[in-house]
């Protein structure tokens, strides 16, 4: 039996717990998710190093999963655009059962291996694409079908599962096992297995974006300010990076179409916005190199 399906020995009387003990049991079990991710940090480093040159060469991130795992993939993919101005067409997600399964379970969708394969083929994957395949069990047919299609074209495949020795981990170019063990509510992998998956996906995509020069120091300098909160964040980031006044930061951002990187170059290199942008383009968006 898979570890994630094995009833937990820790809390066999969970339904009898008073609320305080019940909450403590759930929270304490979730804390183990971070430990599971930390335990495979070496594999995560290997994945980031493999992902970076392919994506830098124009590859896409494609997340594939079913149920909770698939929904977590969608979440990570859609947040890359506002956070890093990453093109939405270069961060895509496939969910067994289609996008409608984001909100309502589609019975049996995860069991269709051929559909996983055909859904991925419809995206016309290529060598530079990175396919992130997520399945707590490590055996989900839909995800394995997508894996097979990705391997056919030589795309980089990263398998993420919560059970060791499973087909997804063995078949992917890089297999990362988040060994979270039994769930406090037996088999409910939306709990710490899902939490560990989210931590890992956040880590992979964020580390990738840092390596692609989307971050300066620890500042989110490539954000896409699509609302009032993000506009104010852009102003404060520009102020923090340059020491400029709020008025000067706003003026530089307005000249730079509210692109923080460009505004920083405008202020620190004393250039007009078009020349600042040209300098960034010449350095592949590397703000440190542009400023040097």
Domains of the chain as residue ranges with CATH: 3-212 (3.40.50.10490), 215-291 (1.10.8.1080)
Q: In this predicted model, what pLDDT tens digit does every residue of 233-260 receive, in sequence order?
A: 999 999 999 999 999 999 999 999 999 9
Going 252 to 257 to 258 to 263, the CA torsion angle's sign is: negative
Q: In this predicted model, what pLDDT tens digit does every residue of 17-69 receive, in sequence order?
A: 999 999 999 999 999 999 999 999 999 999 999 999 999 999 999 999 999 99
CB 24 within 8 A of CB 206: no
Query: Does the pLDDT value for residue 105 go beyond 90?
Result: no
Active site residue 49: no
CB 75 within 8 A of CB 95: no
User: Across residues 75-79, what is the average pLDDT?
Assistant: 97
User: Across residues 107-126, what is the average pLDDT?
Assistant: 95
Q: In this predicted model, what pLDDT tens digit does every residue of 93-102 receive, in sequence order?
A: 999 999 888 9
* Choice among 5, 49, 79, 107 that is catalytic: 79
Buried b (16+ CB within 10 A) or exposed e, 51-61: bbebbeeebbb
Specify the pLDDT at position 243: 97
Q: In this predicted model, what pLDDT tens digit does every residue of 262-272 receive, in sequence order?
A: 999 999 999 99
| pTM (2 d.p.) | 0.94
Specify the pLDDT at position 122: 98
Pick the closest to residue 97 from 106, 89, 88 (CA basis).
106
Structure tokens at 55: 């994506």
Active site residue 89: no
Q: In this predicted model, what pLDDT tens digit does every residue of 191-242 receive, in sequence order?
A: 999 999 999 999 999 999 999 999 999 999 999 898 999 999 999 999 999 9
Contacts of 210 (CB under 8 A, 6+ apart): none
* Choice among 20, 49, 110, 254 that is catalytic: 110
3-state secondary structure of 160: strand
Q: In this predicted model, what pLDDT tens digit does every residue of 131-171 receive, in sequence order?
A: 999 999 999 999 999 999 999 999 999 999 999 999 999 99
According to DSSP, the residues that pair with 92 across neighbouring strands are 62
Specify the pLDDT at position 124: 97
- Strand (E) positions, 83-206? 91-95, 130-134, 156-161, 174-177
Pick the closest to residue 110 from 87, 94, 91 (CA basis).
94
């Amino acid at each position: 039996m898979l570890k994630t399906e094995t009833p937990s020995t820790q809390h066999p009387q969970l339904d009898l717990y008073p609320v305080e003990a019940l909450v403590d049991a759930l929270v304490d079990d979730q804390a183990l998710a971070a430990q599971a991710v930390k335990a495979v940090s070496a594999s995560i480093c290997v994945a980031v190093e493999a992902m970076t040159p392919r994506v830098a060469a124009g590859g896409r991130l494609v997340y594939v999963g079913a149920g909770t795992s698939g929904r977590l993939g969608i979440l990570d993919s859609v947040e890359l655009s506002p956070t890093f101005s990453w093109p939405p067409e270069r961060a895509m997600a496939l969910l067994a059962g289609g996008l409608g399964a984001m909100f309502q379970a589609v019975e049996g969708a995860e069991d269709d291996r051929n559909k996983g394969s055909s859904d991925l083929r419809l995206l016309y994957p290529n060598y530079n694409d990175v396919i992130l395949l997520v399945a707590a069990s490590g055996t989900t047919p839909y995800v394995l079908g997508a894996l097979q299609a990705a391997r056919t074209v030589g795309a980089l495949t990263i398998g993420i599962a919560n059970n060791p020795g499973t087909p997804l981990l063995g078949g992917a170019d890089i297999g990362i096992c988040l060994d979270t063990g039994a769930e406090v509510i037996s088999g409910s992998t939306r709990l710490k297995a899902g939490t560990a998956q989210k931590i890992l996906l956040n880590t992979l995509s964020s580390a990738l974006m840092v390596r692609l020069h989307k971050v300066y120091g620890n500042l989110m300098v490539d954000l896409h300010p699509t609302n009032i909160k993000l506009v104010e964040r852009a102003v404060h980031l520009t102020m923090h990076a340059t020491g400029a006044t709020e008025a000067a930061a706003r003026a530089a951002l307005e000249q730079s179409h509210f692109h923080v990187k460009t505004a920083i170059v405008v202020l620190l290199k004393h250039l007009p916005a078009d020349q600042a942008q040209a300098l960034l383009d010449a350095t592949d968006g590397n703000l440190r190199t542009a400023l040097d």
